[in-house]
Amino acid sequence: MERDIKKSTQLNKRILITGILLVIIGFLTLWRPFQSYLFISLSFSVLIIVSGVLEILFIIQHQKIIKMWLTMLVGGIIDIAMGIYLLLSPLIMMIILTPVISIWVFYKGFTVLRFALLLRFYAYQRWWLQLAMGIAIILISLMIVVSATVDFLQTVGFLNTIAWTGLGILLIGVSTISLSFVYRNTGKSSDTIFLNRNES
């Protein structure tokens, strides 16, 4: 019992910290739009390079037991080359990053929406707050796509895209913080709620 309580407390802390970090990132994106978006773009480029390097190292260590090691090796080299190219061409990466972020924001909104319906199923009084945030996040993800489609390379269109992105991240952070309080008040994680519903 004590172990379960400890795990639940640790989960709440992680969710709360994640939410706070997302709020900070969202706020910084709105406050320093170009610098923040450029930082995110460069981080993705570095991530691609690191992924390629790790894949090559893995192949070198397990070459004897991997039949398609040559294909994976070529894939790792392509990852590194692509990452370096995008790192040297941040504007291209920023354009590619927009649909990726919009898909991520849409998925997060759908997750919040789904959780809101579960809270309603369990008669949680403020379930509609999560529902409203989920709908808002989904709408923001669509606005990111729309603003990016209309004259993205122009300054106004670019700033609109970043503004919607920052607002989406900020709202996801707020919903995550709210989620941590729901966990604390109900004493259940989302996994427990899903499990209980499947059993009923």
Determine the Cα–Cα distance for residues 160 and 99; give it in Å rounded to an integer.
14
Which of the pair, 150 or 70, is modelled with greater confidence?
Answer: 70
Do residues 83 and 52 touch, judged by C-beta distance below 8 A? Answer: yes
Tokens of 81: 């080359």
Residues of the chain with pLDDT > 70, as a percent, come to 75
Question: In this predicted structure, what is the pLDDT of residue 101?
Answer: 79
Does the pTM exceed 0.85?
A: no
At 145 the three-state DSSP class reads: helix
User: How many other β-carbons are positioned within 10 Å of the β-carbon of residue 48?
Assistant: 21
Please give the structure tokens belonging to residue 25: 């990132």
Rounded Cα distance between 100 and 48, Å, is: 14
pLDDT at 139: 93
Closest CA relative to residue 142, chosen from 98, 90, 200: 98
Tell me the pLDDT of the chain averaged across its residues. 75
28-58 pLDDT tens trace: 878 877 777 777 777 777 877 887 888 788 7
Single-letter code of the amino acid located at 183 = Y
Query: pLDDT tens digits for 176-185?
Result: 888 777 766 6
Task: Tell me the pLDDT band of 165, cut-offs 50, 70 and 90.
Answer: confident
User: Residue 200 above 80 pLDDT?
Assistant: no
